[in-house]
């Protein structure tokens, strides 16, 4: 058996800036053959994607997975809805939480685990206000300045 490459980590960096993360879950993702091959090449994007619960199942919407370059006529659609695999009690818990105003489910990370399976880390999130975003930017600037000062002190 061949060892799988597990260094694929596609992040949604914008989500950490736009939302306050309340709770995290790791879910499997149902994919076609050409989709997993495209993910292994790193050709996916979580920007502008979100999750919705429909009929007791959870789907990731607007996630872009580029068409596989060696795919034939049976290649996948780039922005189709993809089913996430979570336990029923976790889905019910998320469904109950999203009924509150201002809470949503956002994909944070798409990765390949050590068994070679595609997994997605999703989070129950609440939107940040403008002043929260400014605070996040201020903290990032302070952190960057501190790192620069430490680097200068070493020289």
Cα 120 from Cα 111, distance rounded (Å): 6
pLDDT in tens, 78-105: 788 999 999 999 999 999 999 877 799 9
- Which pLDDT value is given to residue 3? 54
Kindly tell me if the per-residue pLDDT of 108 is higher than 70: yes
Q: Identify whether 67 is part of a domain.
A: yes
The CA R_g of the chain, rounded to the nearest whole Å, is 18
Q: Identify whether 146 is part of a domain.
A: no
Cα-based distances in Å from 34 to 10, 109, 110: 17, 20, 16
Range(s) of the domain holding residue 93 = 9-128
Cα 136 from Cα 38, distance rounded (Å): 33
By percentage, how much of the chain surpasses pLDDT 70? Answer: 95
Query: Tokens 């469904």 appear where?
Result: 95
Nearest to 11 by CA among 44, 38, 37, 41: 44
Domains held by the chain: number: 1
Q: Identify whether 124 is part of a domain.
A: yes
Give me the CATH number covering residue 81. 2.40.280.10
Secondary element (H or E) of residue 44: strand 44-45
Nearest to 47 by CA among 121, 109, 119: 109
DSSP letter at 49 equals -
Q: Specify the pTM.
A: 0.77
pLDDT in tens, 55-80: 999 999 999 888 887 777 777 777 88
Cα 138 from Cα 135, distance rounded (Å): 5
pLDDT in tens, 119-139: 999 999 998 888 778 888 898
Nearest to 123 by CA among 104, 100, 148, 143: 104
Higher local confidence (pLDDT), 107 or 152? 107
- Are residues 107 and 60 in contact, defined by beta-carbon separation less than 8 angstroms? yes
């Amino acid at each position: 058996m061949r060892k799988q490459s597990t260094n694929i980590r596609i992040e949604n960096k914008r989500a950490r800036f736009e939302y306050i993360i309340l709770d995290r879950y790791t879910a499997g993702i149902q994919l076609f053959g050409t989709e997993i091959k495209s993910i292994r090449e790193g050709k996916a994007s979580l920007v502008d994607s979100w999750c919705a619960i429909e009929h007791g199942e959870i789907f990731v919407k607007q996630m872009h997975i580029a068409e596989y370059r060696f795919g034939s006529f049976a290649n996948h659609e780039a922005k189709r809805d993809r089913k996430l695999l979570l336990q029923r009690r976790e889905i019910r818990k998320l469904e109950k939480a999203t009924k509150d105003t201002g809470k949503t489910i956002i994909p944070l990370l798409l990765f390949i685990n050590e068994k070679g399976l595609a997994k997605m880390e999703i989070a129950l999130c609440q939107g940040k206000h403008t002043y929260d975003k400014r605070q996040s930017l201020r903290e990032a600037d302070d952190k960057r300045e501190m790192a620069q000062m430490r680097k200068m002190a070493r020289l």
